């Protein structure tokens, strides 16, 4: 009997997706470039379901029901192209290649077009939730031809996480749309994590609290508005005792954050689209600054900081930081969703932003209660420009703003870097200003480059002959 679906690439993600499919009752053919891994997979997990292990790509292709569905779960980048090139000559018209790795969305657009020329259907699907998610139910963001999605939706919705009877999987849009939404998901994850790190820094260095004490605070926070996977695991990580030193594990982890690139892609795309995306971008920069460990060590004994401040009221600090964290998180999501809206308009994707929040409620790294509020916001206001403008979020940030401002002041006075907290607040203050200072920017641009300006009291573009007679001339 031929298999319903095939998975090639049996590292941790591919292996776990294949096991998830088999546990849901699908027949699965598995393949890996290095055959030993396929054999090991069958040895370890063959008893879990109806697997067919294939040593060659030809055997793999022959093991599949036609039209074939092949999930490619190999290293992102060139390996995906290599696998497509090897598979294509073995496939029939109409077969579906699914790239479930973290591919960059322009690559997905390119591969979609390339496969179409060969008569193959290509789907780029975002899969979030790490190895646990892949095995037990990830959040799935499928992009590509809707008809092809219709043919594989049974498998994808069955293996996805499920919240209140709704699978965390919905067709996102054509071409690279699925990988785009996954990219923004990861960008938001960067912002969420940076905000958590800043909250921890404040509680430790202004509040004088130990890692386990802060862990207990996060555990409490996880029962309120902030309830989410990342807040939950922060409590667990902070509470962990190091076996070697007997002290908190986080205290002996090097303070250098690494990254694989999805946050950077999100920030670069925001710059390309012209969308203000300060939270995610600051989070990427904070990781790059953390990586300058030797420079920071030298600077720590050279560059002056503020004089020591008296201890603050710790209970008040904890509550203020909680509120600042929530408000900044709202801003990060507002920015990320504004970016997806802009990308949807620029690419004609017609993204359902409420559905994107819905499929992130379970399975993925940023899963949170709060996403229900975003879904509700788009259900009641489908053309919303900015999440901050719906009553729930307007009130949430409005109620938090006093605490948020106190946190930014306190951190600044104590010399604690809070790029995500402070840039979120600056975005908020910039966004709610009817008249900002860009009038002066245009004045300066007109002075040095004759870039012209518009006037508030009428139409037209104007230039002042600054270094000649100082007269204003209309230029349009």
235 versus 363: smaller Cβ distance to ligand NDP: 363
Counting contacts by CB under 6 A, is residue 73 touching ligand NDP? yes
For the chain, the farthest-separated pair of C-alpha atoms sits apart, in whole angstroms, at 87
Which is closer to ligand NDP, CB of 221 or CB of 360?
Answer: 360
Pairing of the two strands 5-8 and 69-72: parallel
- Report 365-394 residues binding ligand NDP (CB under 6 A): none
| Annotation marks residue 182 as catalytic | yes
C-beta of 3 vs 128, nearer to ligand NDP:
128
Contact present, 415 and 409 (Cβ < 8 Å):
no
Q: Which residue's beta carbon is nearest to the bound ligand NDP?
A: 101
Residues 37-56 that bind ligand NDP (CB under 6 A): 37
Tokens of 423: 């840039």
| 11-19, 157-165, 391-399, 445-453 -> range binding ligand NDP (CB under 6 A) | 11-19
Backbone dihedral angles phi then psi of residue 135, each to the nearest 5 degrees: -80, -45
Query: To the nearest whole angstrom, how small is the minimum distance from the Cβ of residue 262 to ligand NDP?
Result: 8
Given 182, 198, 282, 329, which residue is catalytic? 182
Q: Which of 43, 131, 132, 189 is catalytic?
A: 189
CA 99 to chain centroid: 18
Contact partners, residue 166, CB within 8 Å, separation at least 6: 358
Structure tokens given for 2: 């031929």
Applying CB under 6 A, among 32, 112, 410, 424 the residue interacting with ligand NDP is 32
Considering only residues 76-105, where is the footprint of ligand NDP by CB under 6 A?
76, 79, 82-83, 101-102
Smallest distance, ligand NDP to C-beta of residue 386, A: 28
Strand 96-99 and strand 69-72: pairing? parallel
Distance CA 152, CA 65 (A): 13
Minimal distance, residue 117 CB to ligand NDP, in Å = 21
What is the C-alpha separation between 367 and 351, in angstroms, rounded? 19
Does 34 bind ligand NDP (CB under 6 A)? Our answer is: yes
Member of 127, 209, 267, 327 binding ligand NDP (CB under 6 A): 127
Distance (Å, whole) CA 350 – CA 172 = 9
If one asks whether residue 13 binds ligand NDP (CB under 6 A), the answer comes out as yes
**Is the Cβ of residue 129 or residue 419 nearer to ligand NDP in the bound state?**
129
- Distances, alpha carbon 452 to alpha carbons 174, 434, 440, 466, 476, in Å: 40, 21, 12, 11, 10
Asked if 189 is an active-site residue, the reply is yes
> What's the min distance (Å) between Cβ of 133 and ligand NDP?
6
11 binds ligand NDP (CB under 6 A): yes
Integer Cα distance of 270 and 276 in angstroms: 7
Q: Does 69 bind ligand NDP (CB under 6 A)?
A: no
**With respect to ligand NDP, which residue has the nearer C-beta, 41 or 378?**
41
Shortest CB 476 distance to ligand NDP, Å: 49
Q: Is 130 in the site for ligand NDP (CB under 6 A)?
A: yes
Catalytic residues: 182, 189
The contact set with ligand NDP (CB under 6 A) reads: 9-14, 32-34, 37, 73-76, 79, 82-83, 101-102, 127-130
């Amino acid at each position: 009997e031929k298999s319903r679906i095939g998975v090639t690439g049996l590292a941790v993600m591919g292996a776990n997706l294949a096991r998830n499919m088999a546990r849901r009752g699908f027949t699965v053919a598995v393949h890996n470039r290095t055959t030993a891994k396929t054999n090991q997979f069958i040895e370890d997990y063959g008893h879990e379901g109806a697997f067919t292990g294939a040593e060659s790509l030809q055997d793999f292709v022959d093991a599949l029901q036609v039209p074939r569905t092949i999930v490619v779960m190999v290293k992102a980048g060139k390996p995906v192209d290599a696998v497509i090139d090897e598979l294509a000559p073995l496939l029939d018209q109409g077969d579906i290649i699914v790239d479930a790795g973290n591919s960059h969305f322009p690559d997905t657009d390119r591969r979609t077009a390339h496969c179409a020329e060969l008569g193959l259907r290509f789907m780029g699907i975002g899969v979030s939730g790490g190895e646990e998610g892949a095995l037990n139910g990830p959040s799935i963001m499928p992009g590509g031809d809707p008809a092809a999605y219709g043919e594989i939706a049974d498998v994808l919705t069955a293996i996805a996480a499920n919240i209140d009877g709704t699978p965390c999987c919905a067709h996102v849009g054509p071409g690279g749309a699925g990988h785009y939404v996954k990219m923004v998901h990861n960008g938001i994850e960067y912002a969420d994590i940076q905000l958590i790190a800043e909250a921890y820094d404040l509680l430790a260095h202004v509040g004088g609290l130990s890692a386990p004490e802060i862990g207990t605070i996060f555990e409490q926070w996880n029962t309120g508005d902030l309830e989410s996977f990342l807040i939950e695991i922060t409590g667990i990580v902070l509470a962990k005792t190091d076996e070697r030193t007997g002290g908190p594990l986080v205290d002996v982890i090097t303070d250098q954050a690494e990254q694989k690139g999805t946050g950077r892609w999100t920030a670069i795309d925001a710059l390309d689209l012209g969308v203000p995306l300060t939270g995610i971008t600051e989070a990427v920069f904070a990781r790059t600054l953390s990586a300058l460990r030797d420079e920071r060590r030298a600077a720590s004994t050279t560059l002056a900081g503020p004089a020591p401040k008296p201890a603050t009221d710790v209970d008040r600090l904890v509550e203020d930081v909680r509120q600042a964290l929530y408000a900044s998180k709202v801003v990060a999501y507002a920015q990320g969703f504004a970016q997806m809206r802009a990308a949807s308009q620029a690419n004609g994707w017609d993204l359902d932003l409420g559905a994107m929040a819905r499929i992130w409620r379970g399975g993925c790294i940023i899963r949170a209660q709060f996403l229900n509020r975003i879904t509700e916001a788009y259900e009641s206001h489908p053309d919303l420009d900015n999440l901050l403008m719906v009553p729930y979020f307007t009130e949430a940030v409005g109620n938090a703003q006093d605490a948020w401002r106190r946190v930014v002041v306190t951190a600044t006075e104590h010399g604690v870097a809070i790029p995500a907290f402070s840039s979120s607040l600056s975005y908020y203050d910039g966004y709610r200003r009817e008249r900002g200072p860009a009038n002066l920017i245009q004045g300066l641009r007109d002075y040095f480059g004759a870039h012209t300006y518009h006037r508030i009291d009428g139409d037209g573009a104007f230039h002042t002959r600054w270094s000649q007679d100082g007269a204003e001339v209309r230029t349009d």
